Structures are given as C-alpha cells and as structure tokens.
Chain A
Amino acid sequence: MNFKRDIATRTYSGFAIAALLILTILNILLQIGPPDIQRAGDQLLAMSADDGVANAVTSVVVYFRGFDTLGEIAVLFIAALGIGLMLSAHNRTTHEESNYILKKASRMLFPMIMLFGVYVMIYGHLSPGGGFQGGVIVASGVLLLLISREEFEVPHSVISALETFAGISYVLIGLIGLLVVDKFLGNFLPNNISQMGMLFSGGVIPLIYIVVGIKVGSEMSMIVQNLIQRSDDD
C-alpha cells in the first residue's frame, strides 16, 4: 500500500475525518438529555453551605477543587523556575539612584501593603481574596522595596525555605485529610456551621489558604526580583 499520497488527498481526508468526529460528538451530545441541575453554580452554593465557610468562592477553590489548586501552584512554581533559569544569571551591576519621594514614600507604604497582603491571605475564607491574591500583594510590596532601595535584595535562602515549607505543608495537610477522613485535602478539623463568619472557622481551609499565600508570595517575589535585576543589567 502506498502511504505517500499527494497533498490534496491528504487535505480532503483530513476534512472528512474532522467532519466525522464532529458529527459523532454532535450525535453523542444530542442523545444526552437536559440535565436535572441546570446550573453548576447553584449546586456548588448548596454544597458550600455545609462546610461553614462564609466565602463560597473560597469554599469551591480550596475545598471542592483543592487538588486543582495544588496543580495551579505547581504551574506557578514551574513558571518561577523557568524565569529564574533564564534571567537570574545576571547580577545587578549598575546602581541607579532612586527617586527621593519614592524612597520616603516606600518607607510608609511598605508596611501597609504587607499588612493588607497578610490580611487578604488570612481572611480568605471570610472576605474576597485569598492565598493567591494575598501572595501577589505581598510580592508587590517586595517590588516597591526593590525599586526604591538600590541595595535591597530578596534573600534566596529565606525564599527557598519558605517555599519548601509551604509546598510540603500543603501536601501534608492533604495526606492528613486522606488518613483521617478518607479524602485528599479532607476537612479533619472541627467546622461548626454555627461559627460561620468567625476567624477560626471552616476547618482546614484557612490553613491551606495561608500556605498557598506563603508559596505564591515567595514565588512571585523571586519572579519580580529576576525581572528587575535583568532589566537593570543592560
């Protein structure tokens, strides 16, 4: 049999196969009737009322989709790793003098940005936000320090220790959940619905979000530092 056909035949056969696949998928889709639950959001809202977390989005992201969140953090870690590999070989050589106003303002703004980041992280189960947003806010505070002080550098050892700690604790919390309640990232801490809205509520979810915040914050700080150093270099 001759496998080397001319281009026109291959194109037409490709179109034919694509059309066949689309028709098959359409056939399957048409055979499935309308589902009982019209919207997934209603179902998730009904489920999130059980676990005592005031913020339903956090409940979905951390509790029902906790494994996906672990994957997202792995993606961010790989991105930080790639940026570090490509850009971090260049050390900062030139010291541009920062603006005087920026220097003085950063002294006042930096604690507030850090405080807001930690607040968003810790109150992720009560108010909008959470680990990802809080971590990036902390990293933007680090960015302010980097552009306002020439001599400042993020200490590598602290960052790697924080990141390792956060990653290991996320998996450990998941494994403890697997051992105690037979579910990866299961809720093994007491979560009373009567305490919904308190700071200590929602069982294991605040812990996971704090860990996520530490990890995202350290990774984003490293990314920001690599970008700034590289562009100061040239």
Chain B
Amino acid sequence: MTGIIILFSFLAVILVAFMSIIQKSLPDAIILFMGVGLGAVVLFFVFQAPDVALTEAVIGSGISTLIFLMALKHLKAEHEL
C-alpha cells in the first residue's frame, strides 16, 4: 500500500512539474507549482518526516504561492502584459 502511494506521488509530482513548465499562462503555472508542493507533502509524510511535511505544506504551497501570485499581479499592473 505504501509503495503504491509513493509511486503514485512520485509520478504525480513529475507530471505536475512538467505541466507547470510547459504552461503558456503564468497563473496556471503557479497553481501547478503549488501542486508540486502538495505531492512533496505526501512524500515527506510517507517517508516519516511529518515536521518537514507540515513546513512544506504551509510555506512551500501556501506562502510561496502567494508571493508568486502577488509578484505576477504587480508585474501585470506595471507592464500591461
């Protein structure tokens, strides 16, 4: 069971990371990048590092996504992309 979860999470992380790279629109890429963090949370938890999983969930998926989105909004306002 654990093996299936690990395999699925690894594949999901790789897939989501690849999709995040090939996205044309930047907000979609940022949201998919958040998905990479969520897959990493599952992996950290399965590999018995719940502290790291919590940190990744809060900072990697939460705050860094906010910072990316805010920077994107600011750039759009400045350059009218």
Q: Are A234 and B50 in contact (CB under 8 A)?
A: no
Q: Are A228 and B55 in contact (CB under 8 A)?
A: no
Q: Are B53 and A136 in contact (CB under 8 A)?
A: no
What's the tally of chain B residues with a CB closer than 8 Å to chain A?
Answer: 16
Q: Are B63 and A234 in contact (CB under 8 A)?
A: no
B55-81 to A contact mask, C-beta < 8 Å, 1/0: 100110011001100100110011000
- Known contacts being A130-B51, A140-B63, is A227 close to B70, with CB within 8 Å? yes
CB B59 to nearest CB in A, in angstroms, measures: 6
Within 8 A of A (CB), among B23-61: 50-51, 53-55, 58-59
Q: Find chain B residues with CB under 8 A from A205 CB.
A: none
- Known contacts being A57-B51, A128-B50, A129-B51, is A136 close to B59, with CB within 8 Å? yes
Q: Find chain A residues with CB under 8 A from B51 CB.
A: 55, 57-58, 128-130, 133
Candidates A132, A230, A234; contact of B55 at CB < 8 Å: A132
Q: Which residue of chain B has the shortest Cβ distance to A227 in the bound complex?
A: B70
Bound-state Cα–Cα, A220 to B77, Å: 24
Bound-state Cα–Cα, A137 to B54, Å: 10
A173: CB under 8 A from chain B? no
A204: CB under 8 A from chain B? no
What size tier do the contact residues of chain A reach?
20 to 34
CB A77 to nearest CB in B, in angstroms, measures: 16
- Known contacts being A129-B51, A227-B66, A231-B70, is A140 close to B58, with CB within 8 Å? yes
CB A65 to nearest CB in B, in angstroms, measures: 14
Bound-state Cα–Cα, A143 to B73, Å: 16
CB A64 to nearest CB in B, in angstroms, measures: 15
Q: Are A143 and B58 in contact (CB under 8 A)?
A: no
Q: Which residue of chain B has the shortest Cβ distance to A129 in the bound complex?
A: B54
A-B contact pairs, 26 of them (CB 8 A): A55-B51, A57-B51, A128-B50, A128-B53, A128-B54, A129-B51, A129-B54, A130-B51, A132-B55, A133-B58, A136-B58, A136-B59, A136-B63, A140-B58, A140-B62, A140-B63, A143-B66, A224-B63, A224-B66, A230-B70, A230-B74, A231-B70, A231-B74, A231-B77, A234-B77, A234-B78
Using a CB–CB cutoff of 8 Å, the interface residues on chain B facing chain A are: 50-51, 53-55, 58-59, 62-63, 66-67, 70, 73-74, 77-78
Given contacts A128-B53, A227-B67, A234-B78, 6 further A-B contacts (CB under 8 A): A57-B51, A128-B50, A128-B51, A228-B70, A231-B70, A234-B77
Q: Top 8 closest A-B pairs, CB basis? A: A128-B50, A234-B77, A227-B70, A136-B58, A57-B51, A231-B73, A231-B70, A128-B51
